[in-house]
Structure formats: C-alpha cells, structure tokens
C-alpha cells in the first residue's frame, strides 16, 4: 500500500519550517529530497568502509568495491539493462550527454548529417548537439510542437530521412510535464537507420523504465532527481554501440596496459570511468533505487498521476484570472510539472511571495530557454511534485497563488 504520510516520515527535511510555515517542497524537477535510508547509506560508507575501489586487496577496499558494483547492478536492474556492463557512472545527465556527443558523435556525425530534437529539450540535450553540429557542419532539426505542449507526431516521418543519424528526445519535459511517445519515436528513428537517445532525467524517477522495451540506443538520467545524492549520473548504451565508442576521458582506472608509448583500455564499463569514481554517491544511488523498488514504480506513477489530476482540477476551479497554465491537460500524458505565468505579476515576485508561505517552487526558464520563450513569456513559475507530495500541498499551492495575485493586484492579503 502506498502510504504517503508514512513515506513522508522517511524524509527529515519535510519537517522543516520556512518563515514559521511547514515546508511545502514543490521543486522536485530541480532536485528531489533524500530519505533517511539514503543519508544513512552515505554515512555508513564514510564511517565503516571508506576506501578506494578496484585497487586494493585490503578488507576496506574490497568491501567498498563490492558495494560500489552492487549499486551498479541495482541501477541496471532498475532500468532492465541486459547487463550492468552497459551502465556507466557519470556526474549527471549533462555529462552523460556530453560523453555521447564526443565519444559517439565525433565518429558518427558528418557534414550534412541531421540530428532531430524536440522543441522542449533541456539545455543539456540541446547545447551539446549544437556544438557538435557546429564542429561537423551538421544540421539540427526540430519536431513541431502543438499548442497544447505535445509533439506533432504527424510530421515526424517527413523529418526523419536517410540523412538523420540521431533522434534525441526528452521523455518527460521539465518545463511542461509533457510525456513524449518515445517508444513510437524510437521506432521511427530505427526504421531510417538512425540512433535513438532518451533523456530520462525527469521520467526515470517517476515511472517504470525498461530500456529493452523502449529499444533506446542511449538513456541518460541523474541520481539527485530520484532520491539519490548529487554528483552521480547514469549513462546506458547498447553494447554494440558502446563497444565502438572511444573514451571521453583518459587516465587512471580506465586502462588495461600502459607503456611509455601507448595505452590500451579496460573492459566495459571502466573504459569510460577515468580516475577515482564517485564511490559514496554511487552507493547512495543504489540505496535510492532500493527505496523506490520498495514502493514500486507503478505505485509512484499512479500517485503522481492522481496528484496531477487533482492539481489540474484545482487550478481550473480556482479560475485565476490572467494566469496561463502550460502543458497538456491530460494526466495520462503529463507528469507532475506545472508551469504557469500571470500577466501582471512577475514569476520571481510570485515565487518570493510563495516562499514566505513555506512553498518552494522554481522560477525562471528552467534550463529550457528556447521553449519558454516560444510560449511568449520570459519566465514561468514551476511547481513539480514527487512521491511524498500530497493533495493538501496542492491546496496550499493554489491558495498561495490566489492570495499572491490578490496581494499584488489589490495590495491586500
């Protein structure tokens, strides 16, 4: 049974008060809070078996290595990778995408080739391809987006051609909440011989993810958005592709043999993990995966779908004059991300007002500047939900926005 009140007890920070008000944390698209189990896993590592991995025969090193690789196995199982060898540790999704752009892109993208993206990409899944296209004289194209914040899939067949080498798409938009039909998009890419990349930074924490079912060539995501520590990310790549990729970074740990003249590379996945890795946070991410598995990702998705439905209805009932809520109105294709703008109150002012009520939201362009500007606004307020949020917190948000608009328009609370 998914007991949200019991779940909340696992998160120490949720008992915090902001300006005397209970914390209502609604900035989960930026980073999630951490349960005590993850915090304890980090403390346990540093207190009981802190040592470098893969390099020592002493007890602490062997224990740290076992826990480190056990975490990789947990992540591989979590996304249904056929092997943990295909899971590469990175710092975050941004680093994973840059690794692909350099290690795969430099060898496989040529002058005149085309890369197809969506208009709702985070800068992390846009700027590396812009830079690669600039270096290679390649072309970037975009799938059109409908007014409701969904992709115009009717145009995709005309956009993917024999010149397309990569289709890269966000699974869930961090600014609109749109859940894109990535399995269908990947199928269309593969029909034309293109590779398919999924940015799962927002989706992997919130719904079941099966890389074999998605048939994606690449998947990237970050640990800190799924209850794990910051500074640890994941890159999954199909074996036949990963075997052909050259290392992004070189140095210690990722080598097999080294002479004064040359070097050869270690086996997967260490070939792509130069230097001492982020041991503690990898183990912490493994603990986060344990926690999510204990809840069940289907249950996590159901809870958030119910919250999204409730929030859509509450905003509709509030009938806030002059407020635009962006993204689809169908909770089946929308995650718990709510971006909105009001005509006469700047998002930063609204965000500051809400903070005084203990409500943590995001304001700005959310590292999706081209998308937000395409909406005709410079910035939005974004509230984003996760597994520990409640309908009561949705009520507090909507009431807080209502009060803020009244205050700024009428000068009274």
Q: CA 171, 175, 178, 181 torsion: positive or negative?
A: negative
DSSP for residue 19: T
Whole-number Å distance between alpha carbons of 206 and 336: 9
Residue 216 annotated as catalytic: no
Beta bridge partners of residue 140, listed in sequence order? 115
Whole-number Å distance between alpha carbons of 94 and 73: 22
Three-state DSSP class for 72?
Answer: helix
Of 138, 367, 372, 398, the catalytic one is: 367
Which helix (DSSP H) or strand (DSSP E) does residue 406 occupy?
A: helix 391-410
Sheet hosting strand 337-342, strand order edge to edge = 323-326, 337-342, 380-384, 362-364
Whole-number Å distance between alpha carbons of 289 and 294: 9
The angle at the Cα of 128, spanning 239 to 211, to the nearest 5 degrees, equals 30
- Peptide bond preceding 269 in cis form (omega within 30 of 0): yes
What are the catalytic residues? Answer: 367
């Amino acid at each position: 049974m998914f007991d949200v009140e019991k779940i909340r007890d696992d998160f120490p920070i949720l008992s915090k008060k902001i300006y005397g008000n209970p914390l209502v944390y609604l900035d989960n698209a930026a980073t999630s809070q951490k349960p005590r189990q993850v915090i304890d896993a980090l403390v346990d590592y540093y207190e009981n078996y802190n040592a470098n991995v893969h390099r020592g025969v002493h007890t602490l090193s062997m224990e740290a290595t076992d826990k480190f690789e056990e975490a990789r196995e947990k992540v591989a199982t979590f996304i249904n990778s056929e092997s943990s060898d295909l899971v590469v540790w990175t710092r975050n999704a941004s680093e994973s995408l840059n690794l692909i752009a350099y290690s795969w892109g430099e060898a496989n993208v040529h002058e005149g080739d085309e890369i197809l993206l969506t208009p709702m990409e985070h800068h992390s899944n846009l700027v590396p391809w812009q830079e690669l296209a600039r270096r290679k004289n390649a072309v970037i194209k975009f799938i059109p987006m409908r007014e409701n914040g969904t992709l115009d899939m009717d145009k995709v067949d005309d956009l993917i051609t024999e010149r397309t080498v990569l289709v890269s798409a966000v699974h869930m938009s961090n600014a609109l909440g749109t859940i894109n039909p990535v399995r269908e998009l990947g199928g269309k890419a593969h029909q034309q011989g293109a590779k398919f990349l999924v940015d799962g930074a927002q989706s992997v924490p919130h719904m079941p993810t099966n890389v074999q079912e998605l048939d994606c060539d690449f998947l990237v995501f970050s640990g800190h958005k799924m209850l794990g520590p910051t500074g640890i990310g994941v890159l999954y790549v199909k074996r036949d592709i990963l075997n052909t990729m050259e290392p992004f970074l070189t140095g210690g740990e990722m080598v097999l043999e080294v002479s004064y003249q040359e070097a050869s590379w270690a086996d997967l996945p260490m070939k792509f993990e130069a230097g001492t890795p982020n041991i503690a946070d990898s183990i912490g991410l493994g603990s986060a995966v344990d926690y999510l598995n204990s809840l069940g990702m289907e249950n996590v998705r159901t809870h958030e779908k119910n919250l999204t439905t409730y929030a859509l209805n509450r905003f509709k009932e509030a009938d806030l004059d002059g407020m635009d809520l962006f993204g689809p109105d169908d909770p089946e294709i929308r995650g718990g991300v709510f971006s909105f703008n009001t005509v006469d109150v700047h998002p930063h002012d609204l965000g500051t007002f809400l903070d005084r009520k203990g409500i943590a939201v995001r304001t700005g362009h959310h590292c999706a500047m081209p998308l937000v500007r395409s909406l005709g606004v410079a910035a939005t307020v974004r509230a984003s939900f996760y597994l520990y949020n409640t309908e009561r917190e949705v009520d507090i948000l909507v009431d807080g926005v209502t009060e803020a608009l009244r205050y700024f328009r009428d000068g009274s609370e």
